[in-house]
């Protein structure tokens, strides 16, 4: 039996490293990767708490989280591609105009 505290700590480490990636990286795709890591950390929490739960609500929620992550990644990458087409860069600190 794995102690739940250790799983939660692992999830926290993943989440906060993802947060640091979101804050510090300049490339928009790296920011997306950070968001995926944060979603995975949250997912790990949900699954850790659904161990031994006969109703497995945590697992069902994590399935929906994975689904939302897929939708989010598709839309976000489409936006990044469009921004790149427009500005010729995917560096988030150079993209500072809504409309040219």
Q: Which residues lie near another protein (CB under 8 A)?
A: 1-2, 4-10, 12-14, 16-21, 23-30, 32-33, 36-37, 40, 43-44, 47-56, 59-60, 62-64, 66-75, 77-82, 84-85, 89-91, 93
Least separation in angstroms between residue 96's CB and another protein is 14
10 vs 80: CA distance, rounded Å: 30
Least separation in angstroms between residue 49's CB and another protein is 8
43 vs 55: CA distance, rounded Å: 17
Least separation in angstroms between residue 10's CB and another protein is 5
Segment 32-35 long-range contacts (CB within 8 Å, at least 24 positions apart): 32/73, 32/76, 32/77, 32/80, 35/72, 35/76
């Amino acid at each position: 039996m794995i102690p739940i505290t250790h799983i939660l700590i692992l999830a926290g480490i993943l989440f906060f490293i993802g947060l640091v990636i979101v804050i510090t990286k300049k490339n928009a795709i790296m920011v997306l990767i950070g968001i995926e890591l944060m979603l995975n950390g949250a997912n790990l929490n949900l699954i850790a708490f659904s161990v031994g739960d006969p109703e497995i609500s945590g697992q069902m929620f994590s399935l929906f989280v994975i689904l939302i992550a897929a939708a989010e990644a598709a839309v976000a990458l489409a936006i990044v591609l469009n921004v790149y087409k427009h500005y010729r860069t995917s560096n988030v600190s150079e993209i500072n105009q809504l409309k040219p």
